[in-house]
Amino acid sequence: MYRSHTCGELRSSDINNTVTLSGWVQKVRDKGFMIWIDLRDRYGITQLIFDEERTSSALINQAKTLGREFVIQIKGTVIERASKNPNIPTGDVEILVSELQILNEALLPPFTIEDETDGGEELRMKYRYLDIRRNPVRKNLIFRSKVSMAVRNYLSNEGFIEVETPYLIKSTPEGARDFVVPSRMNAGQFYALPQSPQTFKQLLMIGGMDKYFQIVKCFRDEDLRADRQPEFTQIDCEMAFVEQEDILTAFEGLTRHLLKEINGVEIHKFPRMTFDEAMQKYGNDKPDIRFGMEFGELNEVSQHKDFNIFNQAELVVGIAIPGGNSYSRKDIDKLVEWVKRPQIGALGMVYVRCNEDGSYKSSVDKFYDQDDLATWAAKTKAKSGDLICVLSGETNKVRPQLSALRMELAERLNLRDPKVFAPLWVVDFPLLEWDEDSERYHAMHHPFTSPKPGQLELLATNPGEVKANAYDLVLNGNEIGGGSIRIHDKKTQALLFGYLGFTPEEAKAQFGFLMNAFEYGAPPHGGIAFGLDRLVAILGGQETIRDFIAFPKNNSGRDVMIDAPATIDAMQLDELNLKLNLKS
């Protein structure tokens, strides 16, 4: 038996007891006549003491050989600590050691195993097993486990059944790129790893499972943007005999439960907003509504003068920065530079200072008088002391630009409080979105999403106008979940595939099994999927998902710890009926 107690367990009530502890040497303080060691395990830290008067010199000498991160086992007596440490639960006691066994030695770790480490990202990823010993990383992983269990228990209690769907499935060109898996037993053929269990969960509904969920890994072979992982975890859910309202109610329930259980925050009813409204008010379909700074559209009140930039713009739109009139000319110039950076891409920015005396001072005073500027202030809800920032141009470009500015300013003004939770349903998404590259419409959510009742006819004339029974759950400016009511009849599905550019043959080859299934009594159904990595990060008050993944990959999709991917044997390739075809 390696231990009678963990390192986080002993209290005053254990004084005089003999105990056995095992753990890592966190710190050695050697005063010559007295040695203190902080012994660490997952559960906490317990102080060990060796002293000349009470400890044999052999044992003291042995203790002197211990280095950081050595793994040791000790036996000793719990005694009262001379100077107590109120910061840790075991701080009232220490262990007077009588036996010491070194279970494993340790090289000096390449970075310090402390809350604030000196190790950079790359180094910590390479030695992730050491990084995990650090409190913040360990706590994040334990937190993730707790959130997963809370999700499972809630959904199980609500009658959802967790069903495991297969990982070796079939490649479909729609959507992102699949990872594929060559089949040795079926020469020349490939499985694909699922981008999501979408079709399987729909088949489960057709199979009468009624309420399904699964916490499941999904895979996308995309060029990785910052904070994206090639493998990620979804809370995947589906319900039969439901309308949109049923889904929103069910998963608002789940999210409310998590906020309460995990964060102790009670939120009664989540606000809802249409996609169009979100775009108009926040330039963004996942607005952070923890703070205001809503967009004020200014076309009406800015296109009547000789300022051609505005007159030619499809949209003139501004936001008021609270207290922004305190910015110096230089500060404002920097803001202008910030929105003109290629990542944002604005051509310029007009500003209006709202002075304390009620007057305005703008960068376009040549064109607009005080009355004009007062209407801008009214539209953007600017108050004295604020600064109005105005962008103009094509609606589809200027909205994301102003949205980026809004988020940046909120960050700078500390308006994005990680302890505040502001969930929001965004509903009525468009069914299709125009893709510039391929010059055709793509499914905005996915090709199984049903149009709003009665809008199917619009597909022929105004496809971009068709709204879908699709919804996103947004939390603090992040999309944490998204879903839709699905198509459940073959005719509509075939029509949709047609609009999405599938020939009937392609639709059949790729999704024939689903279209067939629709003919054997498919119930109305719909669902939602949450990104667990992001959900956990946000509930944990952070936004970097990598901090909540045990063994994440870097931006090239590599695991630098195990050094994967890697080359494989010629024999392995041969067995798979493959040859490398490297471009020189």
Please give the residues from 187 up to 226 whose contact with its own copies meets the rule CB under 8 A: 187-193, 199-200, 203-204, 206-211, 217, 219, 221, 223-224
Q: What does the alpha-carbon distance between residue 111 and residue 102 come to, in Å, rounded to a whole number?
A: 22
Given 79, 123, 181, 494, the residue binding its own copies (CB under 8 A)? 181
In this structure, are residues 421 and 267 in contact, taking their beta carbons and an 8 Å threshold? yes
43 binds its own copies (CB under 8 A): yes
Contacting its own copies within 465-524 (CB under 8 A) = 488-489, 512-513, 517-524
Longest C-alpha distance within the chain, in Å? 93
In this structure, are residues 525 and 240 in contact, taking their beta carbons and an 8 Å threshold? yes
Contacting its own copies within 106-145 (CB under 8 A) = 106-107, 109, 127-133, 138, 141-142, 144-145
**H or E segment to which residue 61 belongs:** helix 57-64
Given 75, 177, 340, 467, the residue binding its own copies (CB under 8 A)? 177
Q: In the bound complex, what is the minimum distance in angstroms from residue 92's beta carbon to its own copies?
A: 23
Alpha-carbon torsion, ordered 417, 418, 419, 420, to 10 deg: 60
Q: In the bound complex, what is the minimum distance in angstroms from residue 393's beta carbon to its own copies?
A: 35
572 binds its own copies (CB under 8 A): yes
* 22, 143, 156, 194 from 162: Cα distances, Å: 38, 21, 8, 17
Q: In the bound complex, what is the minimum distance in angstroms from residue 539's beta carbon to its own copies?
A: 16
Contacting its own copies within 70-99 (CB under 8 A) = 70-71, 73
3-state secondary structure of 279: helix
Q: In the bound complex, what is the minimum distance in angstroms from residue 118's beta carbon to its own copies?
A: 16
Both tokens assigned to 538: 């946000």
Given 85, 112, 148, 363, the residue binding its own copies (CB under 8 A)? 148
| Nearer Cβ to its own copies (204/298) | 204
40 binds its own copies (CB under 8 A): yes
Quickly count: other Cβ atoms within 10 Å of residue 124's Cβ: 19
Q: Which amino acid is at 517?
A: A
* 39, 274, 286 from 471: Cα distances, Å: 50, 9, 11
- x/- contact string, 539-558, with its own copies (CB under 8 A)? ----------xxx-x--xxx
573 binds its own copies (CB under 8 A): yes
| Nearer Cβ to its own copies (91/526) | 526
Q: What does the alpha-carbon distance between residue 192 and residue 231 come to, in Å, rounded to a whole number?
A: 13
Q: For its own copies, which stretch binds (CB under 8 A), given 184-192, 359-367, 473-481, 498-506?
A: 184-192
Contacting its own copies within 10-29 (CB under 8 A) = 22, 24
| Nearer Cβ to its own copies (406/525) | 525
180 binds its own copies (CB under 8 A): yes
> Please, what is the angle between helix 198-206 and helix 504-518, to 10°?
40
User: Binding residues for its own copies, how many (CB under 8 A)?
Assistant: 130
- Please enumerate in sequence order all residues whose Cβ is within 8 A of that of 375, keeping only pairs 6 or more positions apart, or say none: 301
Given 44, 114, 167, 277, the residue binding its own copies (CB under 8 A)? 167
Number of residues that make up the chain: 584
Given 47, 195, 196, 233, the residue binding its own copies (CB under 8 A)? 233
581 binds its own copies (CB under 8 A): yes
User: Hunting for tokens 């439901």 — which residue is that?
Assistant: 242
Q: In the bound complex, what is the minimum distance in angstroms from residue 528's beta carbon to its own copies?
A: 17
- Please enumerate in sequence order all residues whose Cβ is within 8 A of that of 208, keeping only pairs 6 or more positions apart, or say none: 240, 523
Q: For its own copies, which stretch binds (CB under 8 A), given 117-125, 151-159, 335-343, 393-401?
A: 151-159
561 binds its own copies (CB under 8 A): yes
Both tokens assigned to 388: 């109005």
Q: In the bound complex, what is the minimum distance in angstroms from residue 88's beta carbon to its own copies?
A: 17
Q: What is the DSSP letter of 458?
A: H
Quickly count: other Cβ atoms within 10 Å of residue 581's Cβ: 5
